[in-house]
Amino acid sequence: SAVISQKPSRDICQRGTSLTIQCQVDSQVTMMFWYRQQPGQSLTLIATANQGSEATYESGFVIDKFPISRPNLTFSTLTVSNMSPEDSSIYLCSVELDRGGYGYTFGSGTRLTVV
Amino acid sequence: DAKTTQPPSMDCAEGRAANLPCNHSTISGNEYVYWYRQIHSQGPQYIIHGLKNNETNEMASLIITEDRKSSTLILPHATLRDTAVYYCIVRVANSGYALNFGKGTSLLVTP
């Protein structure tokens, strides 16, 4: 399956600041997906990032709060802007790669704590 | 995507088989059943998937009923490291869309 490197693995940030999370894939992919997982909850899709076009955001998520870049077919960033304690979550990136039917591969996640 | 229903939690003794059920009564003909698991705060991990035949790999077996309205993930000899949240997801393969996660089943393997 694809290998995804996600950085940072964790961070503690002050409210009002921003954090950029990076996701690097070891092969070219068309779509990259960003999720949020709040404490004790399941994964919620934030947006889909397609190279060369603006990301598509799910209901409840807006570009000003979660800007996404997708400069090429192997890399994407998610920024969590103007953070508040409610943004404390795990953020994960994912790609769909049909290598022997593995389907979707996920990064190891970024655990964000906002204080 | 077809909706899935899973029990919120299950227990299993170490060394015994863990049988995790999933109902997907509205599944359509071209939708696969995927199983993923998430071990405490790690990224979800692919386990197995199938269309209509039973499938087995080194991690688990997937039994899909003939009408495809339900399935069971079987971990044949559960270990403590299998303690995780297990997600059953129905999805067309290579759709280009993200996986939609439900609440899953929290499996606790006990000594």
pLDDT for A4 beyond 90: yes
Which three-class secondary structure string do you get for B45-104?
Answer: EEEEEECCCCEECCCCEEEECCCCCEEEEEECCCCHHHCEEEEEEEEECCCCCCCCCCCC
pLDDT for A64 beyond 70: yes
pLDDT for A112 beyond 90: yes
What proportion of chain A, given as a percentage, has pLDDT over 70? 94
pLDDT for A77 beyond 90: yes
Q: Over the stretch B68-105, which tens digit does the pLDDT of each residue have?
A: 999 999 999 999 999 999 999 998 877 778 888 999 99
Residues forming a β-bridge with B73: B20, B62
Taking the CA of residue A92 and the nearest CA in chain B, the distance in Å comes to 7
Confidence of residue A101 (pLDDT cuts 50, 70, 90): low
Interface of B with A (CB under 8 A): 34, 36, 41-46, 49, 85, 87, 91, 93-104
What is the Cα–Cα distance from A81 to A69, expressed in whole angstroms? 14
Smallest Cβ–Cβ distance between A45 and the set B43, B45, B100 belongs to B100
Write out chain A residues lying below 8 Å of B46, CB-based: 1, 102-105
Confidence of residue A1 (pLDDT cuts 50, 70, 90): low
pLDDT for A103 beyond 80: no
Task: Note the pLDDT of residue B98.
Answer: 86
Average pLDDT over residues A62-79: 96
Query: A42, A53, A88: best mutation site toward chain B, by most B Cβ within 10 Å?
Result: A42
Taking the CA of residue A93 and the nearest CA in chain B, the distance in Å comes to 9
DSSP string, A57-112: EPTT--TTTS-EEEEETTEEEEEE-S--GGG-EEEEEEEE--STT--EEE---EEE
Smallest Cβ–Cβ distance between A94 and the set B87, B96, B98 belongs to B98
Inspect the interface and report whether the beta carbons of A96 and B94 lie closer than 8 Å.
yes
Average pLDDT over residues A58-68: 96
pLDDT for A39 beyond 60: yes
Cα-Cα-Cα-Cα dihedral of B54, B94, A30, A75, to 10°?
A: -20
Smallest Cβ–Cβ distance between A42 and the set B43, B49, B103 belongs to B103
pLDDT for A15 beyond 70: yes
